[in-house]
Amino acid sequence: MAEDFELDTSDLERRMEGAMSSLRTEFASLRTGRASASMLEPVTVEAYGQRTPINQVGTVNVPEPRMVTINVWDKSLVGPVEKAIRESGLGINPQLNGTIIMLPIPELNEERRKELTKVAAQYAEHARVAVRNVRRDGMDRIKKAKADGLSEDDQKFWETEVQELTDKYIKLVDEALESKQAEIMQV
């Protein structure tokens, strides 16, 4: 029955790629001293009875390298958007100008840069854990197939495939972390 066992490595790879994609999104939210609209992606605001991303309640622009502006469409949401940014942990102090919220991006000091590299390392560790969880799922499927009669040679083959896939994605996470930390520490 298990002799025709075929592990769907493309599904495992898709799930590992999802962990990488999530890591890239988290890294984009870490500011490096340059203004970026993507730094507001993880910030949500209480609007119309639910949590809503900021880019769905206003237009996010980067008019200059050290400034992000949000033109809030609904005047009643200006306060909640400002509050969401203050509480987001981005370390940015919003300034109001009617329905436009200006976010001046301060120069990063050495201490803040080191903090951000630690946060980046935490994000990378979460991605590694996600990749390892996908690996564990794949290994569990192989063990189940072994119990159903999969040969030991086939078991070793599939375990090697899953491990190589895991090693590849762990290496990608490490490279992304190294790159992000270098970007953060660059003055």
Q: Any idea where the domains of the chain sit in the sequence?
A: 9-27+109-185, 34-104
pLDDT tens for the 187 residues of the chain, in order: 445 678 888 899 999 999 999 898 888 777 666 777 777 887 889 888 898 888 889 999 988 888 889 999 989 988 999 988 888 777 788 888 888 999 888 777 888 788 888 888 999 999 999 999 999 999 999 999 989 888 999 999 999 999 999 999 999 999 999 999 888 887 6
What is 34-104's CATH number, 1.10.150.120, 1.20.120.330, 3.40.1000.10, 3.30.1360.40?
3.30.1360.40
Helix ranges (H only) for 40-88 are 78-86
DSSP tally for the chain: helices H, then strands E: 4, 6
* Superfamily holding 9-27+109-185: Ribosome-recycling factor (1.10.132.20)
pLDDT of amino acid 32: 66
Neighbouring-strand partners of residue 68: 103
State the Cα–Cα distance between residues 110 and 169, nearest whole angstrom: 31
Residue located via tokens 């120069």: 107
State the Cα–Cα distance between residues 155 and 178, nearest whole angstrom: 34
pLDDT of amino acid 12: 92
